[in-house]
Structure 1
Amino acid sequence: MPRIGMLTPSSNTVLEPVTYRLLSGVEDVSVHFSRLPVTAISLSDKENSQFSLERMSAAAELLRDAAVDVVVWNGTAGSWLGFDYDRQVSAAISAACGVPATTSTLALLDAFRAFGVTRLGLVTPYTGDVTAKIAETYAAEGIEVVNDERLDITDNFSFGSVPEQRLASMIEAAAVDVHAVSLVCTNLRGAFVAADLEAKVGVPVLDSVSATLWKALDVLGAGVPIDRGSVLLSGSTRAALKRICASLREATGADRTTMRLDLPSQRLGVDLAAAEDTGPGVRAIQHDPGLDQRKLNTVQWLEEHRRTLVQPHFRADPQPPQALIETYGVQAQMLAPVEVDGAMAGWLSVHSLAERDWRPTDIEAIETASAEVRDLLTS
């Protein structure tokens, strides 16, 4: 049975019971906890010293005796201390336990990348200076905090007493004109509120406790879909598709690659791309739901022919949607269908902002990527 080890702030009363609830019905995974003293959150040296590598390593060593298979720091201090700090924490606790490691902050960063988030609504219990530091940390990774809803509390224990209804109103306020909302704190009772609100607010709501559990399961290779919010339901699939898109763009030298997929079990539909990778300065298309994708000429051609569509220019049929040319500047593309059980479950797209003659190696690359997606969906 895979065992997850989690380091927990001593005054945290939320993440343990919530983690167990999220895993309800998931067999053959157990979670084990070790605590380290954390009582208040601010930017002072005294409070930041609570998160020293020495303290982290000492707490992690206690989990080594439980023979855990992965260890995580289930706290969000790296969001203001910096991603490099959390990478150091991850390395230290990995060395202490002799197993792979990650942290809540690194898990959230991986989730932002998997979901293509560059515009974020932030919900925290912290004070203004802490949230400003979080925004600065995220901005260095290309993630703009567009909306900031906070409670201005410093006592860590008190975070766990914030009513779910209050968190719900903060999520709704933060969900305006963003790609996702994130609850950054592992002592907020937001996991189930986040999951319930996603349909209403229309964007993923990424809770820290849920994201940490998702990443721990993903590291274990046990990332089975859990229907308790987007990150647990489709995070591993999206992350894998993102890697395929990135490799495909690198192999072809294209400006953009996308994966569109109908996967109802994970609430993925082709009208929003499940994954995307773009070159520097290239406009993202992932969050644009403006077209009925299945009715496009190019997609109907794919459905009929079930082979790669290679378009070095758009002077011949099938014509792409005009918005692809006028809004996103695409001048050439390749599309490859992904078939599962005889149905076209989706397709990969490779875009160029200039007309180009696609090489045989480019066609081979997209067809190899299509096979990788098919294998991912049928494994």
Structure 2
Amino acid sequence: MSTDTRGRARIGVFVPFTNTNLEPDMMLLRPAGTSLHFARLGGYDADEIPNEHQMAQLGSSDMEEPLRLIQGVRPDVVIYGCTSATLAHGPAFDNDLRARIAAQSGAKTVTAASALIYALQSLGLRRVGFASPYVPTLNDEAIGFLASEGFETVGRADFEGTLDNVGQGALSPQDVFELGIRADHPQAEAVVLSCTDMRSVEVIAELETKLGKPVVTSNQAMMFQVIDMAHLGPAPKGFGQLFERISA
């Protein structure tokens, strides 16, 4: 009987409670021999539009109970799986949250927003096209976050219309593919698809083939940082140029 489904590392993942795509994406992206353990986060209103105010509420919500529960599995790595929750507060808040989770959990910690930065730095790229299902004002904050870390957004695609929490998760891979195409720009060295509840992982390879440049998504970037920092390679194949950088 094969036992390669677990034993190398336990990865704890905090998931916003309305998110339906982060968990299946993590199952696709996890390296062999690791196990995934999920805990849900509240702190925002499921019936409100997930704008910068709602996401700021999520980012600043009390982590005491979720942290207590995730510690029950003794994770080696913890992922904070919402990009916009800390994008809405800025890099200093993101860094502080990551440090607090690491201190309380005793585990290496990755946040979605900082993972995008880690991924782009690993690729050695500075100019990006940016897309997400967020409202435009939250996209403004996301692009400001990238700028504060030295990345220039030369292309941008806002979603046409306003999506609620259910709508963000319900976007099809084809919707995401088309959004990525619109975000591209001749000067962009990569395209960033931000949101842990958007089905971006499934279109990475196809979009890279179409654009001829790397595509970085929130969920892919988080798992890339986990694999890289915890030495859990090789990475699963088929998820873009970023994963190809991880050797055995």
Within 2, Cα distance between the matches of 1:158 and 1:20?
Answer: 22
CA distance 1:173–1:27, shift in 2 (3 Å): same
Structure 1 residues 47, 220: CA separation in 2 closer, same or farther (over 3 Å shift)?
closer
Aligned counterparts, 1:269-348, within 5 A: none
Distance 1:57 1:121, change over 3 A: farther
Where structure 1 has 5 or more consecutive residues not aligned to the other structure, the ranges are 238-378
Deviation at 1:156, TM superposition (A): 2.2
Partner residue in 2 for 1:111: 119
The 8 Å contact of residues 70 and 219 in structure 1, kept in 2 or not, is answered as no
Report the secondary structure of 2:52's partner residue. Answer: coil
Aligned residue for 1:160, secondary structure, equals: helix
Match of 2:83 among 62, 76, 80: 76
User: Which of residues 81, 95, 103 is equivalent to 1:95?
Assistant: 103
8 Å CA contact 2:119–2:221 kept in 1: the answer is yes
Question: Retained in 2: the 8 A contact 1:147–1:174?
Answer: yes
Shift of 1:106: 0.8
- For 1:215, the equivalent position in structure 2 comes to 225
Q: Report matched runs for 1:126-137 at 5 Å.
A: 126-137=134-145
The reply on whether 1:179 has 2:189 as its aligned counterpart is yes
- The RMSD of aligned alpha carbons is 1.7
CA offset digits 1:238-262 (Å, max 9, x no partner): xxxxxxxxxxxxxxxxxxxxxxxxx
Partner of 1:22: 29
Q: In structure 1, what is the Cα distance between the partners aligned to 2:218 and 2:51?
A: 19
CA deviation map 1:292-340 (0-9, x unaligned): xxxxxxxxxxxxxxxxxxxxxxxxxxxxxxxxxxxxxxxxxxxxxxxxx
1:91 deviation in Å? 1.1
Structure 2 unaligned spans of 5+: 1-6
Aligned to 2:19: 12
Check the 8 A contact 2:156/2:184 in 1, yes or no.
no
Structure 1 moving runs of 4+ over 6 Å:
none
Partner SS state of residue 73, structure 2: coil
Count of matched residue positions in the alignment of Structure 1 and Structure 2: 233
Q: Partners of 1:28 and 1:153 in 2: how far apart?
A: 40
Instruction: Indicate whether 1:35 and 2:46 are aligned.
Output: no
Instruction: Please give the alpha-carbon distance, in whole angstroms, between the structure 1 residues aligned to 2:149 and 2:193.
Output: 18
Equivalent residue of 1:81, what SS?
A: coil
Bigger Cα displacement from structure 2, 86-95 vs 144-153: 144-153
The whole-number CA distance in structure 2 between the counterparts of 1:27 and 1:140 is 35
The answer as to whether partners of 1:108 and 1:206 remain within 8 angstroms in 2 is: yes
How far does residue 11 in structure 1 lie from its aligned partner after superposition?
A: 0.4
Q: Deviations over 1:171-221 (max 9, x none)?
A: 112222201001110000110202222122011001111111111222221
Corresponding residue to 1:155 among 145, 164, 183: 164
Q: CA deviation at 1:59?
A: 1.2
CA distance in 2 between counterparts of 1:203 and 1:230 reads: 8
Could you say if the C-alpha distance between residues 174 and 47 of structure 1 is closer, same or farther in structure 2, counting changes exceeding 3 Å?
closer
| Secondary structure class of the residue paired with 2:83 | coil
- The reply on whether 1:196 has 2:206 as its aligned counterpart is yes
Q: What is the distance in 2 between the residues matched to 1:218 and 1:57?
A: 28
User: d(CA) in 1 for partners of 2:64 and 2:108?
Assistant: 14
1:279-302 Cα offsets, whole Å, 9 max, x none, are xxxxxxxxxxxxxxxxxxxxxxxx
**If the length of structure 2 is used for normalisation, what is the TM-score?**
0.88
Question: Does structure 1 conserve the Cα–Cα contact (< 8 Å) formed by 2:10 and 2:76?
Answer: yes
Secondary structure class of the residue paired with 2:11: strand
| Deviation (angstroms), 1:136 | 1.4
Secondary structure of the residue aligned to 2:220 is helix
Aligned to 2:4: none
> What letter corresponds to residue 193 of structure 2 in structure 1?
L
Q: Which has the larger radius of gyration?
A: 1
If asked which structure has higher relative contact order (CA below 8 Å, sep 6+), I would say 2
Alpha carbons of 1:196 and 1:50: their partners in 2 closer, same or farther (altered >3 Å)? same
Matched, 1:142 2:150: yes
Structure 1: which amino acid aligns with 2:107?
V
1:85 is paired with a residue of what secondary structure? helix
**Structure 1 residue 100 displacement after superposition:** 1.4
CA contact (8 A) 2:11 2:36 kept: yes
Query: Does the CA contact (< 8 Å) of 1:9 and 1:35 recur in 2?
Result: yes
